Structure 1
């Protein structure tokens, strides 16, 4: 009788551990590709590993209210920004400043909303990601 109860308890434990109630990962995304990467990058491409954190920060903030990767909406597309400014330390610094403190007149009359709560290092990561999107390799 005692051994039957032990076997029964063991079976219940195995059954409980075998029933994984956690949601299954979306098979659309490979382990190297998150849903954030898929939203941020066009054509299913993922951000280059060096700039993925900046891409995640853009998705986590309100950036998509005014910007898209490929198309101009309220503000310029990220590809337009990347095509205009070469990827260098000075442009990363300037773009990070615009992200944190806002800007006006660089892309028309609309004013870019400031994001003063962002840490400078985070704004710089975001700027690096944006500038990494340049596919033109030419200056304006």
Structure 2
């Protein structure tokens, strides 16, 4: 019986020690938060379009070529958001570009087509990206 309690205590201590690691990193599939956008007055992470779009971006191959900010193969999300207006026409146009792919708007490297992506998901991803522009 004593061995049982010692083993149970060790398991409990191990669970507490592993569960209290507040410095653990987020999974790599989650794009980094746009820190400049997370002030208390303008917390876009509470926006449903931000949350849904972020989830879709993380589930697809977007982060292979794009970052929230900074250099990568494709333009950063902030660059895209600052170039385009946040309206229905733009959302539809950019969503179709995600689905069709293409090149020439941001340089010579083509964007891979995503023909299996649902149009409503592509639009949601665009809404997320457009939220990342400078205010």
Measure, in 1, the Cα distance between the counterparts of 2:99 and 2:20: 35
- CA deviations 1:16-53 (Å, max 9, x no partner) are xxx6x7x7486459xxxxx4796331338463422211
Alignment partner, residue 39 of structure 1: 31
Contiguous gaps of at least 5 residues in structure 2:
1-7, 39-43
8 Å Cα contact 1:96-1:124 kept in structure 2: yes
- Alpha-carbon contact 2:57-2:125 (below 8 Å) kept: yes
SS at match of 2:31: helix
What residue in structure 2 maps to residue 66 of structure 1?
A: 65
Separation in structure 1 between the aligned mates of residue 23 and residue 45 of structure 2, nearest angstrom: 17
Residue range with higher mean Cα deviation, 43-52 or 83-92: 43-52
Aligned to 2:4: none
Instruction: Give matches, 1:9-48, under 5 Å.
Output: 24=19, 27=22, 35=26, 39-43=31-35, 45=38, 47-48=45-46
Q: Distance in 2 between matches of 1:25 and 1:92?
A: 42
Q: How many residues are treated as equivalent by the alignment?
A: 120
TM-score, with length taken from structure 2: 0.71
What does residue range 85-124 of structure 1 map to in structure 2 within 5 Å? 85-124=84-123
> What are structure 1's unaligned runs of at least 5 residues?
1-14, 30-34
- Which TM-score applies when normalising by structure 1? 0.69
Q: Does 1:81 align with 2:80?
A: yes
Change in 2 beyond 3 A, CA 1:84/1:105 = same
Work out which of the two has the higher radius of gyration on C-alpha atoms and give 1 or 2.
1
Residue number in structure 2 paired with 1:49: 47
